[in-house]
Amino acid sequence: MQPLTLYDIPSKLPGNIWTPNPAKPRFVLSYKGLPFETAWVEYPDIAGALKEIGAEPSKNADGSALYTVPVLKDPNTGAIITDSFAIVEYLEKTYPTKPVLPYNSKVLIRTFEPTFVACTQVSVRLIVFRTAEILNARSAEYFIRTRSKNFGIADWEEMSPVGEKRDADWANLKKGLDTVSGWYEKSEGKWIMGDTFSYADIIVACRILWFKRVLKEEEWKEVSSWNNGRWANVLVDVEKECNLAQY
C-alpha cells in the first residue's frame, strides 16, 4: 500500500502539528494504522499547491474559490478529498477497519461537531492571537492580515488585549469547556459515546491540541487545571488510543 498524503500547515513548534482541522484526519489515519506522509504548506502557498493537485475549492462569501487544508491525496485510489469530515467519511468507506463513525453515528457526530465548536468559539480571539506567534514568518504575515480583516480590527493587538477583554475571553473559554465537561459527566463511560471510542472524541482532542500548542505554558497550565484536569487527560487518552504523540 502506498502512503497517503495529508496537506497541513507547518509551525515553529517541535513536530509542526498545531491546527485542529488537519489534526482530525491525522488522528484518524494513525488510529486506523494507515501509512501516510505530510505535505507541509505555508498559508500563502496553499491555493497554488492545491490547484496543482486538482483539489476542489470551497467558496468564499462572494462566490470566489477558497482553498483550505486539510486535503488528503490517496495514490491507491486516485482520490483527492477536501474538508476534514469528508476525509473521515472517505477513510471510513475505503478503509473500514477500526471505524470512527460506529453504529451509524455519522449524522449525530456531524451534528455534535459544530455544537462543540460553538462552546469555545466565543473565546477564540485569544487563541487566534496566540496562533500568530507560533507560525513561520510568511504564514504569520498572511494569518495576521487575513484574520484582522475577518475580525474587523486595524491593529493586531486589538485581537485580545491584556485587561478586561482578555479576562472575558478566559471566562468564556472556561464557561464553554464547563458545558462540554457536563456532557462527559453524563456519559456512562470514558468517551463521548460511553465505552465506544469515536470521531467525536477526536474532534474534542484536536480542539484541545490547538489550545495546548499555541497557548503560553502558564496559560495551558491554567486550562489543564479546569474540570479536575479533564482536558489534558482527554488529549492524552485520545493520543494513546490513536497511537499518535509525535510532537
47 lies in a domain? Answer: yes
Question: Can you tell me the distance from the alpha carbon of 242 to that of 6, in angstroms, rounded to the nearest whole number?
Answer: 16
- Domain match, 119 and 215 both: yes
pLDDT for residue 91: 98
Place of cell 486539510: 70
Please say which residue of 60, 94, 128 terminates a domain.
Answer: 94
247 lies in a domain? Answer: no
Quickly count helices (H) and strands (E) in the chain: 10, 6
Could you tell me the three cell numbers for 87? 476525509
Q: Which domain holds residue 214?
A: 106-241
- Domain match, 121 and 184 both: yes
Phi-psi region for residue 194, left (φ > 0), alpha (ψ -120 to 50) or beta? Answer: left
67 lies in a domain? Answer: yes
- Domain match, 110 and 25 both: no
Please give the chain's pLDDT, 247 residues, in tens.
Answer: 999 999 999 999 999 999 999 999 999 999 999 999 999 999 999 999 999 999 999 888 788 889 999 999 999 999 999 999 999 999 999 999 999 999 999 999 999 999 999 998 877 899 999 999 999 999 999 999 999 999 999 999 999 999 999 999 999 999 999 999 999 999 989 999 999 999 999 999 999 999 999 999 999 999 999 999 999 999 999 999 999 866 6
Question: Can you tell me the distance from the alpha carbon of 93 to that of 84, in angstroms, rounded to the nearest whole number?
Answer: 14
205 lies in a domain? Answer: yes
**How many domains does the structure of the chain reveal?**
2
Question: Can you tell me the distance from the alpha carbon of 108 to that of 110, in angstroms, rounded to the nearest whole number?
Answer: 5
pTM of the model: 0.96
